[in-house]
Chain A
Amino acid sequence: MRRIVIYGILILVSILCLVPMAWLVASAFKSNADFQVYAFTPPVERLTLGNFPSLFEQMPFLRFMMNSFFVAGVTVMAQLFFSALGGFALAKYDFAGKKTIMGVMIATMMIPGPVLLAPMYELIYHLGLIDSHLGLIVPGMVNVFGMFLFRQSMLSVPDEMLQAARIDGCNELQIFWHMVLPVSRPIIGAFCLIAFMGTWNSFLWPQIILQTSDRFTLPIGLNQMVGVYQTDYGAMMAGTLLAVLPVVVLFFILQKEFIAGLTKGAVKG
C-alpha cells in the first residue's frame, strides 16, 4: 500500500514535469491556426512539419546553433580548467590573502549582473570585443561557483599524498594533473553540464553585445521572433524544441557522471 502511494506520487510529479515539455513537442508540429484551436494536440492528420522550414526560412538557425556550440564549448573548457586550478589552490595551499580572495569570490556571486552591464559594455568596447564571440567568452572564462565546487571535492585529497609526490620530485602542475584532478573527476562531469547550461542559456549579455545576426546565439536568435507586431508561435516552438534538444541529449549521455559528481563532490559541505 505504502509503495503504491509512493509510486503514485512519483508518477504524478513525473507527469507534471513532462507535460509542459510534451506540449512543447506537440506545439512544434502544430500550425499557427491550430495553435489556438487545440489545447494539446490536433488530430494526427493535422500535425505539420511546416514550422521547421518556416523556422529555417526566417533565420539562419544552423548558424545560431553553431555559434552557441562554439561559445559554450570554449567557455566551458576555459571555466573547467581555471575552476579546477583555482579550486586546487584554495583547497590545498595556505597563503596570505586566501580569506580575502574567498570573500571576494562570495561577494561577486551576490552582485546582480545588470548593475555592471553599462561599464562592462564600455570595457568590452575598449578591448575591441564588441560584436564578437570573444566578447562573450573572455568575461565568462572564470566561474566562481565552479571554483568552490572543485575546492570542496579537493579538500579530501590527503596532504601527505601531495607531500610525498613533491618529495618524489613532481612539480605542482603534475600533482594537479595526475593526482588531484583524477580525484575530482566525478565533479568534472557535473560541472561541465552546469556550466554548459549556463552558457547555452545566457541571454542578457549576448543580447547587448552581439549585433551582427550571423553571430547570434540561440536564445538571442529565437527571442528575435517575439515581435510586437507579429509572432509566429509554431515556428517559435519548433525553434525552442531544437534549441533545447542538445542539452537534453548531453544530459542523457552524461547523466551518470552528473549525479555521481554531485553525490561525491558538492556534498562535503
Chain B
Amino acid sequence: MRRHASRTTPYLFLAPFILSFLIFGAYPIIRSLVLSLYITSGPEAQQFVGLDNYFYLLKDPDFWTAFRNTATFALGSVVLQLPLSLGLAILLNRPEIRGRNVFRFIFFSPNLMGLVFSALLFMLILAPKFGLLNAALHGLFGLPATTRWLSTPALVMPALIMVALWLYTGFNMVYFLAALQSVDAELYEAATIDGAGRWSQFWHVTLPGIKPVLIFVVVLSTIGSFQLFELAFLLLGNGSGPDQAGLTIVMYLYQNGFLGGDLGYASAIGWTLAAMVLLLSMVQLRITGLGTEET
C-alpha cells in the first residue's frame, strides 16, 4: 500500500521544463551575461570591458529616452486599458444585458489579429490623407486629414497606446469578466440590503472580489508593456520613429545588437531591462500584498 507518490514523480513531471530551461534558458542566460562584459563586433572581435557597458548605459541619453518612452507606454496602457477593460466587463456582467456573448466576442476579436498583422494594418490606418483614422476624424469632426500620427514626435506614443488599447482591452476584459462571475452574488445582495450605493458596492464588494485577478493583470500588462518591441518597430517602418519618439528599450537593444553589431552592449541593455522589470513587479506585488500570499 502506497500512501505517498514516489519522490521522483514531481521531478519527472517537471523534467520537460527543467530540461528546456537548462538548455534554452540557463545556457543562453549565462552566455549573454558574459557577453554583456564585452564590446563586440562579431565573434572574433571582442574586447573585455568589465562593467563598463553598464556604467556607460546609465549615462547614455538614448537609453533614458527609450526608458521614458517605454514607461510612458506602460503607464498609458495600464492606466487607460485596465479601467476600460474593467468597465466593459462590469457592463457585460449585468444580467439584464442581452447578446452578451456577441459583445464579448466582438470586444475580444481585435486580439485575434495578433501583433504583426495589427501593425501591418494600423500602419495604413494611421497614415495621413488616406488613412482611415484621419478620414474619420475629418469626416466626423472636420479635423484636418493631414495629421501625421506616426511621424509627429508628440503623437507617436499616443498612437501606439491607442493601437495597444484596441488590441488588448478585450483580452483583459475577458479576465475581468471571469473574475466578476466568480464574485459571490450573495455579497452584492447583502450590500444592497445594507443600503450600499453602486460606488460603495464597487469599492467594497467588486474590487476585493477580483483583487487577485486585478493584480495578476496589472503585473502581466506591465511586464508585457516593458517588452514592447514588435508593434512599435513594425508600425514605425522598422525604426524608432521621429525624434526617437517610438524608441523602446527592447528596440534599443535590437538596434545596438543587430544593426550596430555590438551584442555585448545589447546584452547589457537587456539585463538592465530585466532588472527593472523584476524590481517593478516586486514593488507591485509588495504594495498589493499578493507576494506574501501562498496558494
- A residues near B, CB below 8 A? 3, 6-7, 9-10, 13-14, 16-21, 23-24, 27, 35-37, 39-40, 82, 85-86, 88-90, 93, 95, 98, 101, 104-105, 107-120, 122-123, 138-139, 141-142, 144, 147, 152, 155, 163, 166-167, 172, 176, 197, 200-201, 203-204, 219, 222-223, 226, 233, 236-237, 240, 243-244, 247-248, 251-252, 255, 258-259, 262-264, 266-269
Question: Judging by beta carbons under 8 Å apart, are B213 and A251 in contact?
Answer: no
Question: Judging by beta carbons under 8 Å apart, are B120 and A240 in contact?
Answer: yes
- The residue in chain B whose Cβ has the minimal distance to the Cβ of A122 is B31
Question: Judging by beta carbons under 8 Å apart, are A248 and B295 in contact?
Answer: no
Question: Judging by beta carbons under 8 Å apart, are B121 and A24 in contact?
Answer: yes
Identify whether the interface residues of B are mostly helix, strand, loop, or mixed.
helix
Question: Judging by beta carbons under 8 Å apart, are A219 and B110 in contact?
Answer: no
Identify whether the interface residues of A are mostly helix, strand, loop, or mixed.
helix
| 1-19 of chain B: CB within 8 A of chain A | 1-7, 9-11, 13-14, 16-18
- The residue in chain B whose Cβ has the minimal distance to the Cβ of A263 is B178
Residues from chain A with Cβ under 8 Å of B273 in the complex: 112, 115
Closest CB in chain A relative to B151 CB, distance in Å: 17
Contact A163:B91 (CB < 8 A) given known A21-B110, A108-B21: no
Question: Judging by beta carbons under 8 Å apart, are A101 and B121 in contact?
Answer: no
Question: Judging by beta carbons under 8 Å apart, are B21 and A201 in contact?
Answer: no
| CA of A201 to CA of B231, assembled, Å | 12
B277 beta carbon closer than 8 Å to chain A:
yes
Question: Judging by beta carbons under 8 Å apart, are B16 and A269 in contact?
Answer: no
Question: Judging by beta carbons under 8 Å apart, are A223 and B16 in contact?
Answer: no
Closest CB in chain A relative to B27 CB, distance in Å: 6
Question: Judging by beta carbons under 8 Å apart, are B178 and A101 in contact?
Answer: no
| CA of A203 to CA of B229, assembled, Å | 11
Residues from chain A with Cβ under 8 Å of B213 in the complex: 266-267, 269
